[in-house]
Structure 1
Amino acid sequence: MILTVSNILQYQSFAEAKVLSGNVGLANEVSGVMVMEAPDIEAWGRSGQIILTSYFALDKLSDERIDLFFRKAKDLGISAFIFKKSRLLNEIPVIFIESCMKYHLPLIQIPKETSYERIILEVLETIINRKAYLLNSYYDIHNHFVKMTLSEPKIIDVLKVLQQMIQNPVSLFEKIKGTLIATDNQSTDFKIISEQYLPKGQFMNFDYTQRVANYPYYGSGDNHTQLAVAIPSLGYEQYELIIHEINEPVSDIDFMAIENAVGILQTELVKHYSIKQTTMNKTNELGSDLLHGRIEDEEQFEDTLNHLNLNKSDLHRVVVFEFSEDDSSKNLYSPLSSRFSDTIVNYSKKEFYTLVYVTRKHKVILILPTDTIDSESLKKRLAYILKKAIETPPFSGFKANVSISDPTNLKSLATAYKQAMDTQKIIHLINKNLQIKDYQDIGIYQIFSETNNLDQLVRFIPAKINQMHKDNLDLLYTLEAFLNVNQNYIEAAALLFVHPKTVRYRIEKIKNSYQIDFNDPEEILQLSIGLRLLKIIKQ
């Protein structure tokens, strides 16, 4: 329990004291006491102090300086002023009372006979005793949780111990999956009415949000407060510990228990994440072997399918999610990319009953049984996964595309993986975001993507394109943009961020230098295909 102005009024030294400011500020916390000697309160004032004064230091100041003094006192968090008459100032100035009332600062008058020493000793004794009590409480709470950690507790066990300590229900909520672990089922049903950030107090190292919520179980007409503290985690999950203040408000000692509990929960969540990562790494290794055709031994192949729970008789497709952060200055291997990858996996698990996934820093690869799923239905489900992932904060700035292979048996999974990756290359040529294409969608590009020898692809690129690529890249990019917008000068200029006259000048130069006839549809088709093949070779 904190020490307040109202509490100190019960001390023996305040037996004959008078409160001159009514009830304002009597609930202010008291954490220290100070005798005022000078008006520079910003230099020595501290939040929670009560100020002992005879007003002598303020007596000669102008009204404006006095108002500034009390405004600073309010901003600093001064708890109260205690006035004592002196031989130089026998009556309390009216402006002293008015200023305290204006800034809602308690003003207490004590008799001349009451010594400052007596007040200081009584106040400090209480404060020192309370700090000793808090220190002992922290020691006991910390020791309890340390011993609990050594026993490798379950998360629900940690929550139950915390509930017992603070006498309020608690729950752990994971925002992405929407899962909830609670000590009291009645407190899990609530509607948040408002919330605000809770300023950090003496025993608060984590960030807290204070909410007003309605709990139907406890009566629809009554609202209760709750505290939520985010628990840092390594994966994509977003955990928060919720303290439901159903029985009584959280005290400073309760915050000690909460902070210790958050530390243990964070440790346990890191353990769970590490175990999950170990399992995922093994799955990644086996899945990669399948996708790259590295398993030649039949017995090893069967063992791999059994470990991944894949049915040999089913047809499967390979699905590739490829993504990047919108800000090109950010590294593809950033923690945010890893979290986005985990988010895609999470939504994929919800959408497909059985799947195997392999994660890379900028890719998620799914191996899906597709005997009962047609191509269009599969695209719709993948579009839903992509939409949910992009809508999840903080991934709104991500660019992502999805490619799908043809159905194949597991022996030919390497071919399916190549189809999915080749489809990704063609999606890159389109240069659009949030595309979902299967191998059949790329049409004529299948002929070129199935050619592993780049020298063969070069043969299909017109000599004019190769020469322009060597001579002048600006002309090459202008030609590509011009053909992509059906030879529209204005639209091409918008794509290239230049003036339409610049596009006209460049196109005329292309006509004259490379003898290109823009009215010949056959030549335009060959040039368009050649430009795209050039991009495929670069990739």
Structure 2
Amino acid sequence: MGRFANHQPDTSLIVPTGRDGGLPDPAAGEAPVRPSQTGPLGRGVPVSDVLSASSLAGAQLVAGASGLNRIVLRLNVMEVPDIVPWTKPNELLLTTGYPLREIPEQLADLVAQLHARRLAAVGIKLGRYLDRLPPEMLEAADRVGLPVIRLPDDVAFDDIINQVLTDVLNRQAAVLARSEEAHRALVDVVLAGGGLDAITDQLSQILDGTALITSPGGQVLAQSPPPEADWPPGGPDLWDPDGRLRVERLKHGAGVLDERGAPVAVVPVLAGSLDHGRIVLIAGGSPLEDSDVHVLERAAATAALVITKELAVSAVESKYRGDFLHDLLAGRVDDSEHAVRHCASLGWDIDRPLIVLVAQLEPGAAPEPSPRDLRSAHERFATAWRRAVGERDPRAAVVGYSQELVVVMGAPTGEPPGEAVRKMVARLPGDGRTRRPFSTGISRIVTEPALLPQAYQQARRAATVGHRMHGPGSVEDFDSLGVYRLLSLVPDPTELTDFMRETLRDLAFGDDAETVDLRTTLQILLDTNNVAETARIMHFHYNTLRYRLAKLERLLGPFTTDPHLRLNLMLALQIQRMRGL
């Protein structure tokens, strides 16, 4: 019995986290997520329930009333003064007061030590060895919330131990039985072909609340019907404007959200070393019990099976879809009508005005994980894109390859393609654990399937130039590339670097203030082709700018009178702006 009580699962409470990872600061507007009880979520009995046992009829709570929700998992008897090293968390400590008779002045310190050991409560018999408890001890117990119970004179310790441990074992058996029943119901749902939506619906019936399954980053994958009012709970402190649940504020266990006291429980969805997301239960108002967390743990295992199955099926389908789209974009499909029909069978519509997007993954941006984890990251990256694109165009094609992701979707109406794509990219989860940085390129609008290979090359070129210009995270439209489109066609970046060095000379490199200032002056002079206008833009005196102009011509040559040199300088400055050379 003692061994069983000592081996409890490590299920810590939901702990509030502030901006720096510590406790939230209400003064800074950080809403706390408060625990619903102290101590671990074991299958124990609260002190308040222990006091209602028949063996404790006539017992009096003399201090520590704020700790009545502490959990009792085991009992101990105090027979020696140095009991502290022998105590364990969540114990009900029983004593006749004999070991305390010689040290009444130290009882306040003893309370602090027992609280530090996470004791559940102390039960003391008075009259034989101790006539009264010192006020300092009672004040200390009230201060830390450690219940101190005066036991009836005629009760035997073995009666208390037997009854309380029986209640603990009954509670544990009830938790396991309820968890097993819920597991059978969830397995039946999966065997009947149900997915994540069916799991959340079943959970909401079993646990009487709103159940959600999210990605590791907090994007909602499935959700049971929420209540009509007061949804979502927690407000902006728990939900992003785009509907992402801030799972980083929640940890495994049960707790309470915000001042309205909405009970919540969270459990991770794990399959081996892979983190597939979270299962969240937001109860309808009734307090959550220990067994609710264990039901969620069973549901998490079931959800992991469903997600793993879906990933396996998706991998096969994606391989087939990816091969066909690759042939289509490479120009290997000659019959456009056949391509339209075949894409329709795959759920894609290419018989309309289209654009092609290419999201190129950043190579070597982070240490390479194991092949298994890397494959999972690519799958999650593609899934995030499918979700974002699907909200705008359900008939779009989204296929992920080893170093890029390709989207063939309908041309947006009512807004430029670049603006529409930037909105989609903004909705992608920003969790660096699930994807590496990427750059996105957008093609021109094409009106027939035969032009898709050309659009694909345009999108790739836009992504490459955008990365060179702005680094990872750029979103570039092919039509907005201008001269950079021509520069990107040079296969060897060394040629561009040499041209820039030969043209700009001492201004080609260097980040010191004088060099940067001269490059800026040269750029504005070339843009305006007017000394007076350049002086006005740069807030210089006209004579000061004439001095700078003379210095630039000494460095670079007579570009004010030589149109060919002016063109070379303008190209060299554009190359200088391109990154990755």
Fold-level similarity (TM above 0.5): yes
Which residue number corresponds to residue 71 of structure 1?
112
Which residue number corresponds to residue 326 of structure 2?
288
Deviation at 1:417, TM superposition (A): 1.9
CA distance in 2, matches of 1:16, 1:368: 75
Which residue number corresponds to residue 52 of structure 1?
94
Which residue number corresponds to residue 403 of structure 1?
442
Deviation at 1:334, TM superposition (A): 7.9
2:304 maps to which of 253, 262, 266: 266
Give the conservation status (yes or no) of the 8 Å contact 1:231–1:241: no
Verify: 1:225 aligned to 2:263, yes or no.
Answer: yes
Give the conservation status (yes or no) of the 8 Å contact 1:400–1:434: yes
Give the conservation status (yes or no) of the 8 Å contact 2:108–2:137: no
- Structure whose CA Rg is larger: 1
Count of aligned pairs between the two proteins:
491
From the superposition, tell whether residues 36 and 431 of structure 1 become closer, same or farther in structure 2 (CA, over 3 Å). same
Verify: 1:345 aligned to 2:382, yes or no.
Answer: no
Secondary structure of 1:357's partner? strand
Give the conservation status (yes or no) of the 8 Å contact 2:46–2:70: yes
Which residue number corresponds to residue 500 of structure 1?
none
Deviation at 1:86, TM superposition (A): 7.3
Give the conservation status (yes or no) of the 8 Å contact 1:341–1:362: no
Question: 476-485 vs 93-102, which deviates more?
Answer: 476-485
Which residue number corresponds to residue 245 of structure 1?
284
Matches within 5 A, 1:19-418: 19-21=61-63, 25-61=67-103, 63=105, 65-85=106-126, 89=130, 92-110=133-151, 114-143=155-184, 145-146=186-187, 149-155=190-196, 157-159=198-200, 161-166=202-207, 168-172=208-212, 181-182=223-224, 186=227, 190-193=231-234, 206-208=252-254, 210-211=256-257, 224-229=262-267, 231=269, 240-246=279-285, 248-296=286-334, 301=339, 304-307=342-345, 314-322=352-360, 324=362, 328-331=365-368, 339-352=380-393, 354-370=395-411, 373=413, 377-389=416-428, 398=437, 400-405=439-444, 407=446, 409-418=448-457
Secondary structure of 2:416's partner? helix
Unpaired runs of at least 5, structure 1: 197-203, 215-222, 489-507
Give the conservation status (yes or no) of the 8 Å contact 1:357–1:367: yes
Give the conservation status (yes or no) of the 8 Å contact 1:187–1:244: no
Which residue number corresponds to residue 427 of structure 1?
466
From the superposition, tell whether residues 537 and 411 of structure 1 become closer, same or farther in structure 2 (CA, over 3 Å). farther
Deviation at 1:212, TM superposition (A): 5.2
CA distance in 1, matches of 2:471, 2:333: 36
Secondary structure of 1:43's partner? helix
Give the conservation status (yes or no) of the 8 Å contact 1:322–1:362: yes
Matches within 5 A, 1:441-456: 441-447=480-486
From the superposition, tell whether residues 240 and 19 of structure 1 become closer, same or farther in structure 2 (CA, over 3 Å). closer
CA distance in 1, matches of 2:255, 2:432: 18
CA distance in 1, matches of 2:322, 2:305: 25
From the superposition, tell whether residues 532 and 334 of structure 1 become closer, same or farther in structure 2 (CA, over 3 Å). farther
Verify: 1:477 aligned to 2:509, yes or no.
Answer: yes
Give the conservation status (yes or no) of the 8 Å contact 2:470–2:579: no
Secondary structure of 2:71's partner? coil
Show CA shifts across 1:198-227 (max 9, x none).
Answer: xxxxxx99455532587xxxxxxxx75344
From the superposition, tell whether residues 517 and 434 of structure 1 become closer, same or farther in structure 2 (CA, over 3 Å). farther
CA distance in 1, matches of 2:474, 2:66: 63
CA distance in 2, matches of 1:62, 1:521: 100
Q: Which has the higher contact order (CA 8 A, sep 6+)?
A: 2
Give the conservation status (yes or no) of the 8 Å contact 1:100–1:107: yes
Deviation at 1:70, TM superposition (A): 0.7
Give the conservation status (yes or no) of the 8 Å contact 1:84–1:109: yes
From the superposition, tell whether residues 487 and 102 of structure 1 become closer, same or farther in structure 2 (CA, over 3 Å). same
Unpaired runs of at least 5, structure 2: 1-42, 239-249, 524-550
The two structures, once aligned, show a CA RMSD in angstroms of 5.0
Deviation at 1:35, TM superposition (A): 1.4
Secondary structure of 1:525's partner? helix
Secondary structure of 1:347's partner? helix
CA distance in 2, matches of 1:7, 1:534: 75
Question: 412-421 vs 152-161, which deviates more?
Answer: 152-161
Identity %: 18
Secondary structure of 1:46's partner? coil
Deviation at 1:142, TM superposition (A): 4.3
Deviation at 1:436, TM superposition (A): 4.5
From the superposition, tell whether residues 58 and 211 of structure 1 become closer, same or farther in structure 2 (CA, over 3 Å). same
Give the conservation status (yes or no) of the 8 Å contact 1:419–1:439: yes
Secondary structure of 1:57's partner? helix
Give the conservation status (yes or no) of the 8 Å contact 1:3–1:127: yes
CA distance in 2, matches of 1:90, 1:213: 43
Give the conservation status (yes or no) of the 8 Å contact 2:441–2:464: no
Deviation at 1:73, TM superposition (A): 1.6
Deviation at 1:444, TM superposition (A): 4.1
Deviation at 1:263, TM superposition (A): 1.8
From the superposition, tell whether residues 42 and 529 of structure 1 become closer, same or farther in structure 2 (CA, over 3 Å). farther
Secondary structure of 2:233's partner? strand
Give the conservation status (yes or no) of the 8 Å contact 1:425–1:536: no
Q: TM-score normalised to the size of structure 2?
A: 0.66
Give the conservation status (yes or no) of the 8 Å contact 1:208–1:227: yes
Deviation at 1:344, TM superposition (A): 3.4
From the superposition, tell whether residues 435 and 20 of structure 1 become closer, same or farther in structure 2 (CA, over 3 Å). closer
